[in-house]
Chains A and B, each alone.
Chain A
Amino acid sequence: SQQGEEDPQALSIQEGENATMNCSYKTSINNLQWYRQNSGRGLVHLILIRSNEREKHSGRLRVTLDTSKKSSSLLITASRAADTASYFCATDAGYGGATNKLIFGTGTLLAVQP
């Protein structure tokens, strides 16, 4: 299976704490993306990191990428109850052409307790 894996599968923290989620994948990639999904809704794009980048920030989000280990991490600092959601990593293998597709990881369910 090409699908990546994320750990932990579920994470419960208190408001104000930091949350770290990890993603491992199997193939070479063009970029890696993180998405968030609230229960029963579509996905919201959070951040895209390219294969030649090692770290990227966006607000309270920090993403790292280690292509030698085929892994990425998403850090959410100073978490809020509103951050409660499922978080997915997705890899774009960049096969070329208009049909580049994303392979989604298994997801981490984050619960932030108020």
Chain B
Amino acid sequence: GAVVSQHPSRVICKSGTSVKIECRSLDFQATTMFWYRQFPKKSLMLMATSNEGSKATYEQGVEKDKFLINHASLTLSTLTVTSAHPEDSSFYICSARYLQDQPQHFGDGTRLSIL
């Protein structure tokens, strides 16, 4: 089946650090990638949708300058949390999809802890 690799799986860093998370589709071309945030025992909240070669579409309330998304190729999207603070600590999950109206394939998530 379709495989999406997300890296790193866990990050612990000091407040003020910028953190980059990578999401790769390993065996298919991901025309669209999605970034989610999940709080403990809660559902997934969509942060942004990115299409290869174009700017990401952010959901209401998500700061574009705080969460930088790049989708430079059909197999790679990155999320950079800039100048991270403790309130940015969360579980971040990416997903990728080849065509609309098809399932999304998820990475294993990145647990970000800001001290």
Contacts and interface: CB of A to CB of B under 8 A. Distances in A.
Do A and B pair up? The answer is yes
Interface residues of B, number: 28
A109 B41 CA distance: 9
Interface in B23-73: 31-32, 34, 41-46, 49, 51, 57
Interface of A: 3, 30-31, 33, 35, 40-45, 48, 88, 92, 94, 97-107, 109
Contacts of A107: 42-43
A31 B43 contact: no
B95 interface: yes
Contacts of B49: 99, 101
B32 A33 contact: no
Interface of B: 4, 6, 31-32, 34, 41-46, 49, 51, 57, 91, 93, 95, 100-109, 111
Contacts of A106: 42-43
A41 B42 CA distance: 13
- Specify which of B44, B51, B95, B105 lies most central, judged by the most chain A CB atoms within 10 Å of its CB: B44
Contact of A97 (B100, B103, B106, B108): B100
Given A40-B111, A42-B95, 13 more contacts: A30-B101, A41-B109, A42-B6, A43-B44, A44-B106, A45-B105, A88-B43, A94-B101, A98-B32, A100-B100, A101-B34, A103-B46, A109-B41
Given A45-B105, A88-B43, A92-B101, A98 B6 contact: no
